[in-house]
Structure 1
Amino acid sequence: MRIMAFDYGTKRIGIAVTDPLQIIATGLDNIHPLKIIEYLQKYLQTEQVERFIVGEPKQMDNTPSQSAQHVKGFVNLLKKTFPQIPIEMLDERFTSKMASAVIAQSGMGKKARQNRELVDTVSAVILLQSWMQQYR
């Protein structure tokens, strides 16, 4: 079974997923928040997902950031729609900066680093890799 991670944003949700053996995390897609449930329902018809990991936005002082209320609404929607899939929250501080750095190190230009869809997907991969390192 796979593990799926989400980097939630009000314009896009970056999605990453593990392979079935849960060894490698890869970027899956970017979906508008209004289309995420339909997307997941379709995905779950062909793939088994063991758990969802959702990035928890926090300030430097460990308090919730401005976007925390949106993430909470997203988590509640996931719980309501997919009650059989456990959800874990993981601190997502610095994932976007790390994603931009990874994109830069890969040799892609400035335009790629500014591509928010790519940054969101790579952020979700970093989030999922962090969870795998922490809990496996």
Structure 2
Amino acid sequence: MSKILGIDYGKTITGLSISDEKKIFAFGLGAVPTKNLMKFFKNFFLHEEIEKIVVGLPIKLNNQKEILIEIEIQKFIRKFHIKYPKIIVERLDERFTSKIAFDTMIKLGLKQKKRRKKVILNQISATIILQSYITKKEKKN
């Protein structure tokens, strides 16, 4: 059975998460240097069947898109779609995911030194993006 991949795209580090086969739960997968993302997918897709990716949509509180990072995300999506045309790409508003991820790190008792690591923050953000997407889809059905 196929799964869904969650992506918190960042300029330097991209957080990743993956669903279970029933598409009920999201799990942190890790974080990859953004420059190595396509290389990561090449190897990853040999072992996992992915039907869809959900990429965070960076929107400010005033409902305006974060233009600079959104341009980079659009480039990534075009490149991804050319390489993997059968995998559906969806977007999800990612407002507050970094804040929620940071609060989660505190609740988990992570020391301040670990909380500074963007790798952990991006992975948790990607998991929140994917779980939000899954939950939203469940409510529609």
Q: Give the TM-score normalised by structure 2.
A: 0.92
Q: In the alignment, does 2:105 pair up with 1:92?
A: no
Question: In the alignment, what sits opposite 2:111?
Answer: 109
* Gapped regions of structure 2 (runs ≥ 5): none
User: Could you tell me whether the CA contact under 8 Å between 1:19 and 1:25 is conserved in 2?
Assistant: yes
1:35-114 equivalent positions in 2, closer than 5 A: 35-65=36-66, 66-114=68-116
* Alpha-carbon offset, residue 61 of structure 1: 1.3
Instruction: Determine the C-alpha separation between the residues in 1 that align with 2:69 and 2:41.
Output: 22
- The runs of at least 4 aligned residues of structure 1 exceeding 4 Å deviation read none
* Alpha-carbon offset, residue 112 of structure 1: 2.0
AA aligned opposite 2:105: I
Tell me the SS of whatever aligns to 2:59: coil
User: Could you tell me whether the CA contact under 8 Å between 2:17 and 2:27 is conserved in 1?
Assistant: yes
* Alpha-carbon offset, residue 32 of structure 1: 1.4
Question: In the alignment, what sits opposite 2:22?
Answer: 21
* Gapped regions of structure 1 (runs ≥ 5): none
Instruction: Determine the C-alpha separation between the residues in 2 that align with 1:60 and 1:73.
Output: 24
User: Could you tell me whether the CA contact under 8 Å between 1:58 and 1:68 is conserved in 2?
Assistant: no
Percent identity over paired residues: 28
Tell me the SS of whatever aligns to 2:41: helix
* Alpha-carbon offset, residue 23 of structure 1: 2.1
User: Could you tell me whether the CA contact under 8 Å between 2:7 and 2:15 is conserved in 1?
Assistant: yes
Instruction: Determine the C-alpha separation between the residues in 1 that align with 2:35 and 2:118.
Output: 18
Question: In the alignment, what sits opposite 1:2?
Answer: 3
RMSD: 1.0
* Alpha-carbon offset, residue 72 of structure 1: 1.0
Instruction: Determine the C-alpha separation between the residues in 1 that align with 2:70 and 2:59.
Output: 8
